[in-house]
Amino acid sequence: MSDVIVVGSGPGGANAAAALIERGCRVRMIDYGNQDTHYAPLIPELPFRELRRGDPHQHRYLLGDRYEGIPLGPVRVGAQLTPPRMYVLASARENIPVDAPGMSLSMSLGRGGLGAAWSAGIFPFTADELRDTGLAMEELQPYYAEVYDRVGVCGAQDDLAPFFPSAPSMMPPLELDAGTGRIAARYARRRHLLNRRGFFLGRARLAVCTRPFRGRGPCDYSDMEYWADFRRAVYRAQWTVDELEAKPGFTYLPRLLVERFRETEEGVAVEVRQADGGGRETLQARALVLAAGTLSTARLVLRSLACPGRAVPMLCNAYTYVPMLNTGMLWRPWRDRRSSLAQLTALLKLPEGRLVQSQVFSYRSLLTFKLMKELPLGLRDSRLLLQHLIPSLAILGIHHEDRPSPAKTCILLPADPDRLEVSYEPAAAEVLRQRADEKRLLSCFLRLGCLPLKTIRPGHGASIHYAGTFPMTPEDRPLTCDTDGRLRGTRRVYLADGSFFPWLPPKGLTFNIMAHASRVGALLAGRLR
Amino acid sequence: MNGFYPLPSEEEGILYARYLVGRVPPSGVLQRWAEARILLFDSPPDAADAALLSFVSRHAWSLGPLEAACAWLRPQSEMRRRLLVMAALLEAAPEGADDFLPRQTDLLTVPKLALLGLAAGVRTLAGFLLWPLVGRERS
C-alpha cells in the first residue's frame, strides 16, 4: 500500500505529488494520460516565420491530418488549442461526459491535464482575496514560493505589484513585442491619469523561463508557444510528472480512470477502470488526493459519498475577447522575435472595490485565415487588409470575478450510468455589471491608443476556470473542505484542484491551484509521518 | 460521398485559389483540397447555398462580389466555408505563406489600408446588387 494516491496529473495533481515526494512520502499517481505522439515529432525547431516559409509538411500540424485545425463554425472556446494541443481534450467527451446546456466546457484526460495547454499566467491571490477561504496569506505564502521555485516564473515588479504578492525568485520578464511595447510606452506617459481612474498596467507574469532553469529554457522567442514546447520554456504540469518519475517512491499509473473511492479502516480504496480493455481493480493507500479537475472531482465525490441529486456550487470566470486596433503601431516597424503568450496584464480597480483583470496578446502565430472569417468583408479583401493590420492588432482577454449563486450548480443525476449536469445562469444584473465594467476598461485602453473593434463573448465556460464545487470554509458544512483541503465527511480524502475556491477573483486560477495543492501535499505528508 | 459539387474538385480549387491569392495553387494544395472537400463537406448544402455555389460556378467573375456580400448576408454560407478551407490550405503551404504573413508596416500603411478598405466596400456593394440575381436564377 502506498502512502498517497493522487488522481490526475494536471497542475494540482503534479504539485501535490511533488510536495509529497519532496517530504518523503510514497505516491502513486493515477491518470488517463493521453499524450501527443503524432504531431510533436513533425514540428521542426524553427522560428514561426522560417518554418512557414520552408517546411513542406507544415499543413499536417498547422491544420491537422483531418483538418481539425480549421474552425468552420462561429468563434469557439480554446482558439489556442491547435492540432498538436488537441490531445488535451481527446476522449474526455466519451469517458467523462457532462451535460451543460448553453455552456462550452473543456475537460482533459491528457498527461498534464488542461495545464498542458495553459497560457501560463501567474496571478497569486492577495490576502483580501483569500479571506473567504479562511486561510491567512501567511499560510499560503510559503507554498507560492515553493511553486515559484518548482515551475520558474518571469515577471517584473511594476504597477501590478500591489495586486500580486511579490516573488523573490522571479526571472526577468519576457521581452515585449513591438506592438505591446507601444502600449506600454503610452501607459508610462499617461500613468498618473490612468491610475487615478483605477487602471494599472504591467508586464505579464508568466510560468516561462527567461534563463536556464531546472533543465528548461530559456525562451527562444520563436513564437511557437501554441504549437510546440521547444526547450520546455513554458511550464507544463507534465514536466513535474517527468521529474517525479525519476524519483524513488513515485509511481505513475497511466491508462486508468477512477470510478469511485471509499474509506476503509486502513485508509482509502480507489476503484479504477482500465482505459484499454475495461478491466477493473482496486488500489489502496493511506490517503487520497483528488486533483482530477473540478468537474471530474465533483463526479467522483458525489458518486462516492452517495449524493446523487444533490446540487453543489459551480463557478467559472466570465470571459470576453476584444480585438483592438493598436493605432500606435500602424506605421511603425515590427519584428519577428516575439513570444505568443500574454504580453501585458491590465487591472481596473473599480470604486466599488471590484477588480477586472485583462491580458493583452498580440496575434500572429495562430494563422491569418482564422481572423479572415471574423471580418465583415470578402475573404480576399480580409486577407489583404490583415496582412497590414495584424502587426497593429492587440487581443484583450477580459476576466470577471465569479461568486456562487443558486443558478450556478453542478449535480450528479441518478441514472445508469449517472450523469453530471452543470447549470450556469448568471443573473441579468451580473451580466449588465460585467458589460459596464468592460466599457470602463476599454475606455482606458482607448487612452492608450487601442481602438476596440469587436466584443466577442464565447459563452459561459469559455475561461475554462471551473471551480467552487466543494468550497473551502472554516464553517463545518457537508460537501465543503476544511482549511487543510480535507473533504468534510471523509477522514483521508483531500482536494487539490479548483474545487476548493469559495469564489473566483478575476484572475487565472492555475497558479493558486498549484500553491494550494503544494500546501495540501505538505500538510498531508506531515500528518502521515 | 454525399456532398454537392457543382464543379470538379480541381476546377473548384483553382477558382477559389485564383480569387484568394491571384494564382493557380501548387499541386499539393489541390490534392489536399480534394481530400478536405470530401471530409469537411460531406452533406449537401441547403437550397440557398446550392444556388449560390451553382451561380458562381457558372459565372466565375461573380465570386468576389457575392462572397463579399455573403460576409454580411450569409456569413456561415457553404461558399464562404469552402473558401475558408482553401485559404487555410494556401496559408499552410510554404508557397503561400507570404500571401498571409504580415507585411512590414511603414508610413504608407494607412493610405494603403484606406484604399483596400475602399475597394472592399465597392466589392461588397456590387455583391449586394448581384444578390437578387442568384435568387432569380434559382426560381
Residue A237 Cα, gap to closest chain B Cα (Å): 30
Three-state DSSP at B68 gives helix
Distance (Å, rounded) from C-alpha A168 to C-alpha B117? 50
Residue with cell 480576399: A380
Number of CB pairs, chain A paired with chain B, less than 8 A apart: 145
B138 has a pLDDT exceeding 70:
no
What per-residue confidence (pLDDT) applies to B136? 75
Distance (Å, rounded) from C-alpha B134 to C-alpha B139? 9
Residue A64 sits at φ, ψ, to 5 deg, of 95, 150
* B60 contacts in chain A (CB < 8 Å): none
Strands (E), A275-426: 280-290, 311-313, 315-316, 319-326, 344-349, 355-362, 393-399, 408-413, 419-424
A427 has a pLDDT exceeding 60:
yes
Distance (Å, rounded) from C-alpha A484 to C-alpha A520? 6
Q: How far is CA A66 from CA A61, A62, A85, A372, B40, in A?
A: 10, 11, 14, 21, 9
Residue B92 Cα, gap to closest chain A Cα (Å): 5
Distance (Å, rounded) from C-alpha A514 to C-alpha A152? 13
Lowest-pLDDT choice from A164-173, A185-194, A230-239, B13-22 = A164-173
ipTM computed for the complex: 0.95
Higher confidence at residue B134 or residue A186? A186
What per-residue confidence (pLDDT) applies to B135? 76
What per-residue confidence (pLDDT) applies to B3? 63
What per-residue confidence (pLDDT) applies to A331? 87
Q: Choose among B40, B65, B51: nearest CA to B6.
A: B51
* B64 contacts in chain A (CB < 8 Å): 378, 380
Interface-testing mutation among A53, A375, A384, with chain B (most B C-beta atoms within 10 A)? A384
What per-residue confidence (pLDDT) applies to B1? 46
Tell me the per-residue pLDDT of A343-402, one tens digit each, with 9 for 90 and over: 999 999 999 889 999 999 998 899 999 999 989 999 999 999 999 999 999 999 999 999
A509 has a pLDDT exceeding 60:
yes
Distance (Å, rounded) from C-alpha A11 to C-alpha A5? 16
- Cβ neighbours of residue A461 under 8 Å, at least 6 residues apart? A77, A100, A103, A104, A105, A106, A316, A424
A166 has a pLDDT exceeding 80:
no
Asked if A72 and B87 come within 8 Å (Cβ–Cβ), the reply is no
Percent of chain A with pLDDT over 90: 87
Residue B95 Cα, gap to closest chain A Cα (Å): 7
Lowest-pLDDT choice from A159-173, A339-353, B61-75, B112-126 = A159-173
Q: Show which of residues 25-54 on chain B sit within 8 Å of chain A, judged by CB atoms.
A: 28, 32, 36, 39-40
Q: Which CATH superfamily is domain A2-528 in?
A: FAD/NAD(P)-binding domain (3.50.50.60)
In a domain, B3, yes or no: no
In a domain, B51, yes or no: yes
Mean pLDDT of chain A: 94
**Is any Cβ of chain A less than 8 angstroms from the Cβ of B74?**
no
DSSP letter for each residue of A185-215:
HHHHHHHHHHHHTTEEEEEPPBSB-SS-BTT
**Is any Cβ of chain A less than 8 angstroms from the Cβ of B118?**
no
Residue A404 Cα, gap to closest chain B Cα (Å): 36
Tell me the per-residue pLDDT of A56-115, one tens digit each, with 9 for 90 and over: 999 999 999 999 999 987 766 667 789 999 999 999 999 999 999 888 899 999 999 999
Average pLDDT of the residues in A311-316: 96
Asked if A377 and B103 come within 8 Å (Cβ–Cβ), the reply is no
Tell me the per-residue pLDDT of A461-471, one tens digit each, with 9 for 90 and over: 888 999 999 99
Is the CB of residue A325 less than 8 Å from the CB of residue A424?
no
B2 has a pLDDT exceeding 60:
no
Q: How far is CA A163 from CA A31, A159, A405, B2, in A?
A: 35, 9, 26, 57
Percent of chain A with pLDDT over 70: 99
In a domain, B130, yes or no: yes
- Chain B residue with minimum CA distance to A390: B102
Average pLDDT of the residues in A269-291: 97
User: What is the number of structural domains in chain B?
Assistant: 1
Tell me the per-residue pLDDT of A408-424, one tens digit each, with 9 for 90 and over: 999 999 888 899 999 99
What domain range includes position B73?
A: 9-138
What per-residue confidence (pLDDT) applies to B8? 93
In a domain, B45, yes or no: yes
Residue with cell 490612468: A194
- Chain B residue with minimum CA distance to A55: B94
What per-residue confidence (pLDDT) applies to A352? 87
Average pLDDT of the residues in A196-222: 96
Residue A160 Cα, gap to closest chain B Cα (Å): 31
